[in-house]
Amino acid sequence: MAESPFKPEILRGKVALLTGGGSGIGYEISLQLGKHGASIAIMGRRKHVVDSAAASLHSLGISAIGFEGDVRKREDANRVVESTVKHFGRLDILVNAAAGNFLVPSEDLSPNGFRTVMDIDSVGTFTMCHEALKYLKKGGPGKDPSTAGGIIINISATLHYTASWYQIHVSAAKAAVDSITRNLALEWGTDHDMRVNGIAPGPIGDTAGMSKLGLEGIASKAMEKMPLFKLGEKWDIAMAALYLASDAGKYVNGTTLVVDGGEWLSKPRH
């Protein structure tokens, strides 16, 4: 893992809440936001995962806490947001990284299976944004009223830019996430001085997305057509999150930053 090119204090004094922040890409973002000065709250469905992620961050000197919760339940979203603010006194950054996924041909996918992923990825993202707004907005509790409002980062994907085999539910869900990003950027950017952006990771090594989707075996094939000829690292996504969460990205609002080495737009050379 390369050294971070960012100064270690760029997020000093900030508080970040990450859904799905206990493992995979979400954990790496938790780690890097924490290493750059933010206090970290992690929300996830599995208590042992969020607790052990928070303990790992603690062991590195990062102020961190885990909260069990399911983004599909509004009462969980509300409880975790309130607990985060109770614990750390404020909320500056929300990262929506919780996601559900499985490979299934459309003809074998039940409407409830489709709805389940929509509920986690799309409705869950909106629910978290909605519950966090009163703390994220400019002048929210614990904040200096003269500073800008908070930041939201929604983790998306690139698979809905074209079409992806056996991913109809995730494609639809991530397209909705991108739409949520743009609409909240417009409304909350204007009304609350907030920035709402997304990150669309490409194939990232050592993640649930790669192993669950059986992509590890075909990764070498993907590399043949990738302009940068390699898989991404979780670190690459975390650096994009740092850029968007810090003042480096202060003029960026409503965009979903593709971090994939150019993979989605490339075709095999023949």
Summarize as ranges the residues that interact with ligand HXC (CB under 6 A).
99-102, 104, 109-110, 112-113, 116-117, 157, 159, 170, 208-209, 212-213
d(CA 190, CA 36): 28
In the bound state, the residue with its beta carbon closest to ligand HXC is: 100
Q: Which residues contact 241 (CB under 8 A, 6 or more apart)?
A: 29, 32, 33, 95, 153, 199
Q: How far is the CB of 178 from ligand HXC (least distance, A)?
A: 13
Q: In what helix (H) or strand (E) does residue 91 lie, and over which residues does it extend?
A: none
d(CA 99, CA 117): 7
Cβ proximity to ligand HXC: between 91 and 168 the closer is 168
Cβ proximity to ligand HXC: between 24 and 37 the closer is 24
d(CA 102, CA 20): 16
Q: How far is the CB of 142 from ligand HXC (least distance, A)?
A: 32
Q: How far is the CB of 16 from ligand HXC (least distance, A)?
A: 20
Cβ proximity to ligand HXC: between 4 and 101 the closer is 101
Going by C-alpha positions, the residue among 241, 214, 255 that lies closest to residue 97 is 241
Cβ proximity to ligand HXC: between 117 and 242 the closer is 117
Q: Which residues pair with 6 in a beta bridge?
A: none
Cβ proximity to ligand HXC: between 43 and 157 the closer is 157
Q: Which residues contact 165 (CB under 8 A, 6 or more apart)?
A: 103
Q: How far is the CB of 209 from ligand HXC (least distance, A)?
A: 3
Joined tokens for residue 47: 């208590």
Q: How far is the CB of 150 from ligand HXC (least distance, A)?
A: 24
